[in-house]
């Protein structure tokens, strides 16, 4: 399902060929997202041109980094060291990172994202580490969003998290995204998103890795 006005972010090495906007943050990239529009999320309209707050002016964005120091020990480290992945999670991976094609397919469609999250929730129901990781990142995202956005759904496996959020404007989406990016307690090692303008609000769909060993987006 393709929507009439959808913005997406993509990192240079994600190599996704659609207008979807993917944003990659990893341990080897530059620090912090800033308020400079050239260093924050990029946004794409339904056509091939990038869009920032309704304009058609294209912007570019360097790789960004989620801080990786002071990680809360038990929750994240235990999950990252757990062997294997959830079945639903493995379908989203390529080699040692997130599959670019899988990310594109999920971010392209709200229904596809919701279905993938439902599958992950079912798989995680019997995995305490995945449930702990979901609670931890839900708390961090909710704190970052404050009064500017609502986290509609979040599902985490042992390596990958999927989420859907809604904000009243793209500016508010940008603001909570920067706060989440600067949260050293909840690092992400690769991050991709699509923001869809629904008219009265923006829906943001995102996927990220919580495992430093899965710090790329690419492949099939």
3-state SS assignment for residue 107: helix
Sequence-distant (6+) residues with CB within 8 A of 41 are 9, 21, 23, 33, 61, 173, 174, 177, 193, 195
Would the pLDDT of 5 be above 90? no
Render pLDDT for 68-96 as a digit per residue (tens, 0 to 9): 334 454 444 444 444 577 989 988 988 88
Spatial separation of the C-alpha atoms in residues 101 and 99, rounded to whole Å: 5
Inter-CA distances, 68 with 52, 99, 121, Å: 29, 22, 26
Percent pLDDT > 90 in the chain is 50
Question: What was the pLDDT predicted at 160?
Answer: 95
Q: 111-163 pLDDT, tens per residue?
A: 999 999 999 999 999 999 999 999 999 999 999 999 999 999 999 999 999 99
Write phi, then psi, for 195 (nearest 5 degrees): -110, 125
Q: For 182-196, what is each residue's pLDDT tens digit?
A: 999 999 999 999 999
Least confident of 50-64, 95-109, 174-188, 203-217: 50-64
113 CA to centre of own chain: 12
Spans of all domains in the chain: 6-30+40-46+62-218
Name the phi and psi angles at 191, rounded to 5: -150, 130
Q: Where does the pLDDT of residue 220 fall: very low under 50, low under 70, confident under 90, or very high at 90 and above?
A: low
- List strand residue ranges (DSSP E) for 71-136, in order: 93-94, 97-99
């Amino acid at each position: 399902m393709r929507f009439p006005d959808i913005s997406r972010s993509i990192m240079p090495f994600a190599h996704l060929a659609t207008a979807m906007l993917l944003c990659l943050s990893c341990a080897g990239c530059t620090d912090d997202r800033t308020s400079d529009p050239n260093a924050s999320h990029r946004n794409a309209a339904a056509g091939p041109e990038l869009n920032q707050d309704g304009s058609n002016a294209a912007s570019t964005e360097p790789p960004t980094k989620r801080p990786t120091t002071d990680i809360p020990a038990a929750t994240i480290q235990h999950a990252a060291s757990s062997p294997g992945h959830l079945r639903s999670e493995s379908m989203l991976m390529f080699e040692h990172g997130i599959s670019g094609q899988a990310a594109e397919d999920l971010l392209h469609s709200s229904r596809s994202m919701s279905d993938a999250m439902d599958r992950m929730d079912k798989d995680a129901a019997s995995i305490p580490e995945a449930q702990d990781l979901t609670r931890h990142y839900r708390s961090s995202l909710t704190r970052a969003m404050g009064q500017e956005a609502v986290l509609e759904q979040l599902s985490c496996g042992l390596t990958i998290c999927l989420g859907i959020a809604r904000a009243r404007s793209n500016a508010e989406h940008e603001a909570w995204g920067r706060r989440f990016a600067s949260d050293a307690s909840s690092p992400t090692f690769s991050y991709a998103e699509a923001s869809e303008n629904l008219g009265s609000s923006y829906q943001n769909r995102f996927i990220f890795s919580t495992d430093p060993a899965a710090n790329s987006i690419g492949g099939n």
